[in-house]
């Protein structure tokens, strides 16, 4: 598996580097290093990503059976990620746009039943705005 493969699989899963790191019980820096080629991609990662993909497919099937298509995010422009879903007919239905993957992934999690409702307010020029908690 190449560094580009790692990034592509992560993006297909709709995960940020931090989310993938948490799912793999590793650090975000490790994920970044694998994606940039600074460190070799470990052999176990292929199986771990396959397991995450199968889990996502199962979740998608449950959502389709329940009648709710899963939301995902895609890169729609060089610095813009669009959140939406593919309908049963394969047509893309956009919901909102974000300037970074962290916010797009958080919106996807919220729309798919995760996250906190109070995390999102109003609508900016591209859609809902994520309220960031100060540390």
Residue length, the chain? 135
CA 86 to chain centroid, in Å, comes to 15
Q: What single DSSP character describes residue 91?
A: -
Distance CA 44, CA 36 (A): 18
**Of 3-17, 20-34, 87-101, 115-129, minimum mean pLDDT range:** 115-129
Q: 102-132: per-residue pLDDT in tens?
A: 888 888 877 777 666 555 555 555 556 555 5
For residue 133, what is the DSSP state? P
Domain 1-67 belongs to what architecture?
A: Orthogonal Bundle (1.10)
- For residue 63 the two structure tokens come to 């959502």
> What residue ranges do the domains of the chain occupy?
1-67, 69-135
23 touches 49 (CB < 8 A): no
Per-residue pLDDT reduced to its tens digit, 33-90: 999 999 999 989 988 888 887 777 666 555 555 556 678 877 778 888 888 887 766 6
Give the pLDDT of residue 38. Answer: 96
Structure confidence at residue 133 (pLDDT):
47
Helix, strand or coil for residue 18?
A: helix
74 or 11, which is more confident: 11
Instruction: Say what the pLDDT of residue 135 is.
Output: 42
Q: What is the reported pLDDT for 134? A: 43
In this predicted structure, the answer to whether residue 4 has a pLDDT above a threshold of 90 is yes
Q: Give, in order, the Cα–Cα distances in Å from 35 to each of 20, 39, 53, 56, 117.
A: 12, 8, 17, 21, 32
């Amino acid at each position: 598996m190449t560094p580009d493969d790692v990034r592509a699989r992560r993006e297909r899963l709709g995960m940020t580097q931090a989310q993938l790191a948490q799912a793999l019980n590793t650090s975000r820096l490790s994920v970044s290093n694998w994606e940039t080629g600074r460190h070799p991609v470990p052999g176990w990662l292929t199986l771990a990503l396959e397991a995450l993909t199968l889990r996502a497919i199962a979740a998608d099937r449950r959502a389709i059976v329940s009648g709710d298509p899963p939301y995902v995010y895609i890169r729609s422009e060089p610095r813009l990620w669009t959140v939406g879903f593919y309908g049963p007919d394969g047509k893309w239905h956009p919901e909102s746009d974000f300037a970074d993957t962290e916010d797009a992934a958080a919106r996807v999690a919220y729309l798919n039943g995760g996250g906190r409702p109070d995390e999102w307010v109003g609508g900016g020029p591209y859609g809902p705005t994520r309220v960031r908690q100060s540390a």
